[in-house]
Chain A
């Protein structure tokens, strides 16, 4: 996080997780991926299109602060799919106790919907979607479809 006047956009939090350097405009998708909705009871601060000193997409970024909840590595790694440069700060008593980047997971279960309408994962079966993350895109382990573009729209 940058210091200075921009820090006033969202107040510091006592305990929780700050996800910084989210691709500008992607904050709401990030929340959705973490299962955080208007119905859940986390205390949230969201800043979008914040000017970023450290680059990012055209110098802008999003920030999400989730109070009183430390997100797990697995939860956060999903974010790498849409925002590979995001950073995670775990805060305890106003102090950053852990700072890490996100990593693209090798396997994704139940996170992305297969784009193939004929895929068994899109039928009413008691299974989660399963994808292997390869250099070409996301490879459906059931039907072999490879999703290369427009990932955000396929996130469940």
Chain B
């Protein structure tokens, strides 16, 4: 039985296969009825409306039905039932489980107790493979993954989306440019791992140093609670904000991505520029999640 728990379980070949499948779905969504007669449980122990909606939509577009548990209150969870028991019971109702849970490693645990495939829809600050796959899919819509220079911008220390994306991209011949204030750089252990996997990582503090070389800018949120006071936060936030002026002189075909929701990281004036791809990126969650469901069921 196949589960999708962590992007680290994916080889380059696995990623390519899944992205190709998402591409085929995108090209002809109406002819897929792969989940006809199948039911998927969406177990959401942590609120995440977008991810849940996107999985619900993906299931129904494949002809399947979904049942959702999205409130801990009133369910047996609040009566002290373990996740292991919940998953064992729910397994007997459905053909697959999509799990969102506040504890890291919850999806791994669920896969050990479930008798149906488990897809991780985010566990705590841990893994969120569908996000990474849709990020890769969006880049690949514009350019091949090999040979690109990608700038990861913002809070790279605590932002899990950049960690998994960096890890996944290390399967390809890419140069990662980290653009972050010193206190929010990628964790050293991750950089060491990326180096070990043959990935080039270059650290920058100022995006203008590297702007003309970038094929992709992946912006993420800088959280206010990481700073001692409002003033130092606004200073940093301001200098990591993508504006049309910052983007001037960018490489031809360069794209700007963001996992959304955004706070102030991208000036709304950027939305109208051809390089702005973050809304398509969000929309790509559907074919990518459809491909993930097809992959495991």
Contact = CB atoms under 8 A, between A and B. Distances in A.
Q: By DSSP majority rule, is chain B's interface helix, strand, loop, or mixed?
A: mixed
Contact of A143 (B84, B105, B192): B105
Contact of A116 (B80, B101, B104, B189): B104
A10 to B, nearest CB: 43
A120 B189 contact: no
A122 B6 CA distance: 20
Interface residues of B, number: 22
Contacts of B104: 116, 118-120, 142-145
A123 B103 contact: yes
B189 A146 contact: yes
Given A127-B84, A144-B126, A121 B189 contact: no
Interface string B71-95: 0000000001011100000000000
B189 A140 contact: no
Interface in A103-128: 116, 118-121, 123-127
Contact of A121 (B105, B124, B127): B105
A125 B83 contact: yes
Contacts of B53: none
A136 interface: yes
Contacts of A127: 84, 109, 112
Contacts of A144: 6, 8, 104-105, 126-127
B108 A142 contact: yes
A120 B105 contact: yes
Contacts of B263: none
A119 B106 CA distance: 8
A141 interface: yes
B102 interface: yes
A141 B109 CA distance: 10
A142 B124 contact: no
Pick the most buried of A126, A136, A145: most chain B CB atoms within 10 A of its CB.
A126
B246 interface: no
Nearest to A140: B105
A124 B82 CA distance: 7
24 contacts: A116-B104, A118-B124, A118-B125, A119-B104, A119-B105, A120-B83, A120-B104, A121-B105, A123-B83, A123-B103, A124-B80, A125-B109, A126-B84, A127-B109, A141-B105, A141-B108, A142-B109, A143-B104, A143-B124, A143-B126, A144-B8, A144-B104, A144-B127, A145-B104
Interface of A: 116, 118-121, 123-127, 136, 140-146
Given A118-B103, A119-B103, 11 more contacts: A118-B125, A119-B104, A120-B83, A120-B106, A123-B83, A123-B103, A124-B80, A127-B112, A141-B105, A142-B109, A145-B104
Interface of B: 6, 8, 80, 82-84, 101-106, 108-109, 112, 123-127, 189, 192
